[in-house]
Amino acid sequence: MYTVLAWYSGINCDGTPYDVFISDSSDCITNVSCTTDNTADSSHLASLSTVCTTDYMAATKELFGDSPYLLLESYKDLNCETLGYAEGFFASGNCEGSSGLSAFSIATIDNNGSASVRSYNGSLCPESSFLYSLEADADAIQSHSCVDYFYKWYSSNDIISSTSVSSSGSINNDKIVTEAPTYSPTPSPTPSPKPTLSTAAIIGISVGALFVVVLIIAAIFCCKRRSRAKSTTESHLQPTASLGSAQAAPFAVPYRETTSLWNDDLIVAKRIPRDKVRIKTLLSQGAYGEVYSGVFNGLPVAVKMLLPITRTNLQHVNEFLAEAKMTATMDHPHIVSFIGVAWDSLSDLCVVLEFMDGGDLRSLLNQYEEKRHPVGFNRQKAVIALQVCHALAYLHSLMPPVIHRDLKSRNVLLNRAMEAKLSDFGISRERMERTMTAGVGTSLWMAPEVMLGEWYDDKADMFSFGVLLSELDVHTLPYANAKKCSRDSYGRQLPETEGSGGEPEVLYRLQTTLSHEL
């Protein structure tokens, strides 16, 4: 039995789903016509339907109807034998959502039969938020062969038997069938005697027929070359982005960038044996991942993994591997060192990092606050700030520059010697363009232009660094002492609460400390 989840724009589960997720589940026994998706981003409305079926191919066809779609089967092993899950994409050529709107994608079926799925972090799929792409040629899709060791592709061009939904909501499923058309032979009349051709005539006819065949082959070759050239030209056109479109747009081909993270040279070079990585205790947990203490080759390490609920999601797995690649490219004394990446299957992918035995800066500041440690800057705090500044200077000096985009006290790790190192490059991006607009990060540390979805560059990290300085100064979370936007019963604004001296005073204190003690 399989559970088929279909996500729709809006709250009524109508139109074409933008994403379909299939998993093997013995617990699925009841169909759910439509519910509100509570995991979706708060700025978007999404609804979710659930179908229980033994034939997810037919169920997917039923859900997409006449709309073009792609179906990717993801396997747990390298030979595509043990199915992990499958995911269906609305192949509109436009920017569509994913399960829970955790990412966004452009799925395209080209005129030549090839297909691609490009994943983005931004809701309008700007190139600056590009995560990864999966591609398959027409032969791989038609033969359903194992691509990149893990995937099998299907498309709406496959011949699938019709299905119907009964009044109870169950789907009557038929298997995929690919049948060649059958023709009934037509009785031919008894031929009448014909005159016999001479040997010379037979030779002449044969030569003429051969000449015609050569001409046909040459014409086909020229047509294919023209078609390929046209496809290459069209591949640089950007599609019109429209989230949750219910109508199939013309197959505009987005910019194609051959990307296969699993075969990337850096990932292959940094891969380590999975059985050599031993997991010990849980250190921290976030929205999508968790960090464990562990041992590799007898040395203590930090092991980062996806949450169990996200390990079977293709987009989350690829985003996690993209983060691993980003971290592997970093080489700076104040950035957490990358040791390696390991996996035996998609579901046990892990990233092995340097173990920072001093915890994170936020935990240290919480201890300071509980013990009423004196506020203000001392030498230790100034050194931490300076080391973070060195790490940012390194990121911004790379070509192209790298914007961290989530600088905060939780992402500054310490060792026992109180040396600070920057971590968590989950949403960092190379600045491929002049500026970016994808609003990502943690709101308390986020620059106003990022929060408003406006143009921004590496200066956004400097705003977050300023907020980090305020944390070092007063030990509390950002804006903890900010005045509440509230009024009394007479409508009068309440008086301001006392807080720190503000950002200019914080910078002055830091400058004074650095000039006297460093």
Q: Which residues are catalytic?
A: 406
Query: What token pair was written down for 301?
Result: 């390490």
SS3 278: strand
Closest CA to 445 of 393, 486, 396, 410: 410
Contact between residue 76 and residue 84 where contact means Cβ atoms under 8 Å apart: yes
135: β partners: 116
- Indicate the burial class of 86 (C-beta count within 10 angstroms; 0-12, 13-18, 19 or more): buried
Q: How far apart are CA 108 and CA 96, in angstroms?
A: 11
Task: Kindly write down the DSSP assignment for every residue of 59-114, as one continuous string.
Answer: HHHHHHTTS-EEEEEEESSTTS-SEEEEEEEE-SSSEEE-GGGSSEEEEEE-TTS-
For the CA atoms of 252, 258, 261, 264, what is the dihedral angle to 10 degrees?
-170
| 29 Cβ contact list (under 8 Å, min separation 6) | 1, 52
Q: How far apart are CA 381 and CA 474, in angstroms?
A: 11
136: β partners: 115
| 258 Cβ contact list (under 8 Å, min separation 6) | 133, 135
Q: How far apart are CA 491 and CA 316, in angstroms?
A: 48
Task: Kindly write down the DSSP assignment for every residue of 217-251, as one continuous string.
Answer: HHHHHHHHHHHHHHHHHHTTPPPPP-TT--SPPP-
Q: How far apart are CA 378 and CA 385, in angstroms?
A: 11
Q: How far is CA 205 from CA 3, 193, 199, 240, in A?
A: 63, 20, 10, 55
| 104 Cβ contact list (under 8 Å, min separation 6) | 95, 96, 97, 98, 119, 120, 121, 122, 123, 124, 125, 243
Phi and psi, residue 71, nearest 5°: -125, 120
Q: How far apart are CA 422 and CA 429, in angstroms?
A: 15
Instruction: Count the neighbouring beta carbons within 10 Å of the beta carbon of residue 119.
Output: 25
| 475 Cβ contact list (under 8 Å, min separation 6) | 365, 366, 368, 369, 373, 375
